[in-house]
Amino acid sequence: MVRPSLYSLVGNGAFPAASAGTGLQAGIALNIPNLITLGRILLVPIVVWAIASGTMWIAFVLFVVAGVSDAVDGFLAKRFDMATELGSYLDPLADKALIVSIYITLGVNGAIPRWLVILVVSRDILIVGGIMLSWLVGDPLKIKPLLVSKLNTVAQILFACVVLGSLGFDIKADMLTLVLMGLVTALTLLSVAAYVAEWVRHMNSAAARL
């Protein structure tokens, strides 16, 4: 059994371990889906540069390309049975690296409120911290993907897309931006509450087994 990585609890939840019953290939084969995912990771510093330099339309286009590549590598992995253990770790890591980097850079540039950046980043830090603590007590927490977490990720992506698109192409989308910002805020807080509740239940159960 492969011990779950700390990254598995950021974003959409735990990564499956390789086994004969899951169809997940063991090893670290760099097949086409994994190479596409690595390419998405390499896009992160370029997107950050585009935002920092004020060329928001480039950042928007690259963000869309990253989103399309995410869908393509997922389709290829499932359709042609090319899913690997490496891919199960790289894919959510690439998504989270892109989203967090975009939010931080937009916050530094003043394009989005810094309190929102702090909220989004703090959520991930809190989750990882909780997992590290559970590891230290010898009973690692394995969190399953939660619906609220998936919705939160979708809202974060849509918000970033609207902000980059409106700035890059000078489109007025103030109302939509405010609505999505409120949605991201609410879903982030709800996902934190859900994960904290899961963590408390796990730790109480672990204490009862001692």
pLDDT digits (tens, 9 = 90+) for 25-75: 544 467 888 999 999 999 999 999 999 999 999 999 999 999 999 999 889
What are 103-111's contacts with CB under 8 Å, separation 24+?
103/156, 103/160, 105/47, 105/48, 105/51, 105/52, 106/51, 106/160, 106/163, 106/164, 108/52, 109/51, 109/52, 109/54, 111/51, 111/163, 111/167
Output the pLDDT for position 23. 47
Output the pLDDT for position 137. 75
Whole-angstrom distance, CA of residue 105 vs CA of residue 108: 5
Q: What is the pLDDT of residues 162-193, one digit of tens each?
A: 999 999 999 999 999 999 999 999 999 999 99
Mean pLDDT of 131-144: 77
| pTM of the shown model | 0.81
Mean pLDDT of 116-124: 96
Q: What angle do CA 51, 148, 81 make, to 5 degrees?
A: 80
* Arithmetic mean of pLDDT over the chain: 84
Q: In a 10 Å sphere around its CB, with 0-12 CB exposed, 13-18 middle and 19+ buried, how is residue 174 labelled?
A: exposed
Output the pLDDT for position 140. 75
Q: Which domains does the chain have, with CATH numbers?
A: 6-209 (1.20.120.1760)
Mean pLDDT of 72-81: 88
In which band, very low, low, confident or very high, does the pLDDT at 18 lie, cut at 50, 70 and 90?
Answer: very low
pLDDT at 81 over 70: yes
Q: What is the pLDDT of residues 88-97, one digit of tens each?
A: 888 888 989 9
Q: In a 10 Å sphere around its CB, with 0-12 CB exposed, 13-18 middle and 19+ buried, how is residue 150 labelled?
A: middle
